[in-house]
Amino acid sequence: MELKRDLAIVLRAIPFEERHRIVSALTENSGLITALARNSIQSRRFGGALEPFSASEWHFSQRPGAELCSLSEAHIRRGYEGLRKDFEKLALASVFNELILKLAPQGEPCPDLFRLHSNALAYLEESDKPGADLALLNFYLAKLLQWNGHQPQLELCLVCQAGLDGLLENGIPETTLSCLPADAGWVCPNCRTEQTRHVRMQGGFQNSLLRVSPRAIRDFQWGLLLPIRKAAAIAQASRQEHQELFRFMEALFVFHVPGFDRQPLRGLRFLDVESSLQPLPVSPPRNQLPLA
């Protein structure tokens, strides 16, 4: 059995058989791992290292082929306690954790993803912005799309190749761009037609028209180009514009990112964020089907 050391950020911890905990974490060199922390409920040997968001150096072992590792030690590096003291921050950080649980590879190194996640948690903990920071959520999603290899084309209109810069310079404030999630881009108002395929999928989205402001698309670009902290410092779009951009982000994930379905992220319930995804209808039990 191989003993490993790695940096880990706790994503989820659940009690197991009264005395133990099962902890899922994002690690720098082994991706997403799940470990059994024996006797971690009463004993203090793990300190706060198993609380959600805690970043620690883990010592763990894993039998070949086994899914569950065994955690022997965890030395805390950063507890991110500030995230647990503020409800909005806690809710947003939980959404970040939920995204990592869906997307992180298992058993593979993912240093870029690890850095993104720790930078986002650090920025969120230190931020003094009131309320849920929707722009930060969008920057995080932009970076995940990029990491996944699904970076959209945001510089030019997909049809006439009009540039975003020109639209921003000459545009009237109410100009909106039509988003085409399937094509991972947008079309300008001149190219918007009755046939514009705003959304190709059947149902699923509450709004068949996904429109965003050029300013929000520019922020999206900054989110792809710059570290989260820098993007947040120069973001220009309003909260409402970021709400619209969030719907486009969701659609991009549903269309392009494997492992993503049409279920809205659970953590969104605690944030003042509107999802355009609807849970898929649950079929009624067989005995309740109307008689033909």
Instruction: Provide the binding-site residues for Zn ion, judged by CB under 5 A.
Output: 157, 159-160, 162, 188, 191
Give the span between the Cα atoms of 77 and 95, in whole angstroms.
Answer: 22
Report the DSSP pairing between strands 55-62 and 177-180: unpaired
| Closest distance to Zn ion from the beta carbon of 2 (Å) | 56
| Closest distance to Zn ion from the beta carbon of 159 (Å) | 5
| Closest distance to Zn ion from the beta carbon of 158 (Å) | 7
Q: How many CB atoms lie within 10 A of CB 37?
A: 26
Side-chain half-sphere exposure of 115, counting CA atoms within 13 A: 9
Nearer of residues 129 and 197 to Zn ion, judged by Cβ: 197
User: Max CA-CA distance within the chain?
Assistant: 66
Nearer of residues 124 and 164 to Zn ion, judged by Cβ: 164
Q: Which of 197, 181, 196, 199 is nearest to 245 (CA)?
A: 181
Nearer of residues 124 and 162 to Zn ion, judged by Cβ: 162
| Closest distance to Zn ion from the beta carbon of 187 (Å) | 5
Nearer of residues 148 and 196 to Zn ion, judged by Cβ: 196
| Closest distance to Zn ion from the beta carbon of 223 (Å) | 23
Q: How many CB atoms lie within 10 A of CB 291?
A: 3
List the structure tokens of 159.
């049809």
Nearer of residues 193 and 278 to Zn ion, judged by Cβ: 193
| Closest distance to Zn ion from the beta carbon of 185 (Å) | 11
Nearer of residues 131 and 163 to Zn ion, judged by Cβ: 163
Q: Which long-range contacts (CB under 8 A, 24 or more apart) does 253-256 make?
A: 253/141, 253/145, 254/181, 254/201, 254/204, 255/181, 255/182, 255/184, 255/201, 256/145, 256/148, 256/150, 256/184
Give the span between the Cα atoms of 83 and 71, in whole angstroms.
Answer: 24
